[in-house]
Amino acid sequence: MSTATEQQTTQSRPLWEGKIFNGSWTQGENGTIDVTAPATGQVIATVGAASPADLDASVATAQAAQRAWAKLPYDQRAQVFRKAAALLEADPDRILRWLIPESGSAAGKAGFEIGGLVVGELHEAAALTSEPYGELLQSSKPRLSLVRRLPLGVVGVISPFNFPAILAMRSVAPALALGNAVILKPDPRTPIGGGLALAELLAEAGLPEGLLHVLPGGADVGLALVAHPDVPCISFTGSTPAGRTIGAAAAPLLKKVHLELGGNNALLVLPDADLDAAASAGAWGSFLHQGQICMTTGRHLVHSSVAEEYVAKLAAKADAIPVGDPTDPHNALGPIIDEGQRDKIHDIVTRSVEQGAVLAAGGTYDGLFYRPTVLAGVPHHAAAFTEEIFGPVAPVTTYETVEEAIDIINSSPYGLSVSLLTQDVYGALELAERIESGAVHINDQTVDDEAVAPFGGAKTSGTGGRFGGKANLDTFSEVQWVTAQGEIQRYPF
């Protein structure tokens, strides 16, 4: 017989402890995964580990549940997302208390991710359910001709570790809103804030059983999801090399694949820019969440006439940023996600200095805590200029003419986000037309996203549909052309 203390401990345990979510909380066939806080190295939770066999069972369950969900009136689907948003607004700590240690997110970053971005996605998903799902077309024949959007069926979502909650929810919520079921495989380093806590939230909000499945696991589960014949759509957010692998695996199956990939994003400081404001924007763009963002400012292009002053201001900001355990709200930056990523960052910094860059700030680390780093005079061939760093590093290089700067920006194989800082806003609007990028922000830094805006990259930063607003209609539904006429059409034979 259990004691009162044991009963209280059991009741206080999260529903997902040691579990996967396949419509209900169950054991995974691959045992369990320990979730480790990168700041301390301590195990903060244990979740279930899924196998390809778990995936097969989830797809079958999802297919059955999706048919009934798609037939519901739109307002019944919308109600789930409104309720989820209200629950999260009332108690953001239900996810924050896991997200902060699990992903190494500073309190400010994590609070915005949940209270701003995830809540925004839920509200936008509710609105998406009532969007017109078709249109009438002109026809040369005496008939009704229309196009309508139908659910795809089961959507597979593979999400990363850096902004785990929003980068999962921005696919999960709109896919569900449009009548699909979803199989989510979060990064195994962030399975709680990136999946299981989201499933718990949506289940409490009334999402019918079987529509959302969260399967933490390794690459075998991800590849099985991509290859599954009954999952017609894959939404992947992650690195460009991983995206290439997924695209190659899905191509023979002719699946609908959406790849949101890496970036080496440029911030262009024109000579008339306010340098105090520019340095603030540049620091935020390069250092937010330790630079572990696909939209991070990876190249600071500064006119030679103001470069020395800009570097001094940027370096001063870097030196003043407190770095440490993110559970301490005084720390603005937390740890790099793991040793492998930290060593990659430091290797790029070291090689760049050897290739001619000047270390103006940072360049050191303590455990997984990497100091915000500023590199000045970075040559175009240096590693910090050509490679995606995914760390808190601000490489600065100079240019002489705007034409040269545009050529430098477009020389990158990536095309995700670009920032233009200037007093000449209309001139910047003209420049934006010449920039090969999915997003251009004038007088702001490169890291930005809104639930109502179409987000996605060009070139090797992504392919497929966009996320956000009405763009989700194209991404998470299928188009069907329908015609109807009063009598059977007669033909010559």
Q: Which of 121, 200, 294, 388 is catalytic?
A: 294
Question: Is 450 a residue of the active site?
Answer: no
Phi first, then psi, for residue 304 (nearest 5°) are -60, -25
Query: Whole-angstrom Cα distance, residue 196 to residue 26?
Result: 12
Dihedral (CA of 334, 340, 343, 347) sign:
negative
Are 123 and 151 spatial neighbours (Cβ–Cβ below 8 Å)?
no
Interior/surface letters 381-406, b for 16+ CB within 10 angstroms, e for the rest: ebbbbbbbbbbbbbbbbbbeebeebb
Q: Which of 102, 124, 260, 388 is catalytic?
A: 260
Q: Is 210 left (phi over 0), alpha (psi -120 to 50) or beta?
A: left
Quote the radius of gyration of the chain (alpha carbons, Å): 24
Question: Is 487 a residue of the active site?
Answer: no
Interior/surface letters 473-492, b for 16+ CB within 10 angstroms, e for the rest: bebbbeeeeeeeeeeeeeee
Long-range CB pairs of 272-275, under 8 A, 24+ apart, other chains included: 272/422, 272/423, 272/424, 273/306, 273/421, 273/422, 273/423, 274/421, 274/423, 275/306, 275/309, 275/310, 275/313
Active-site positions read 260, 294
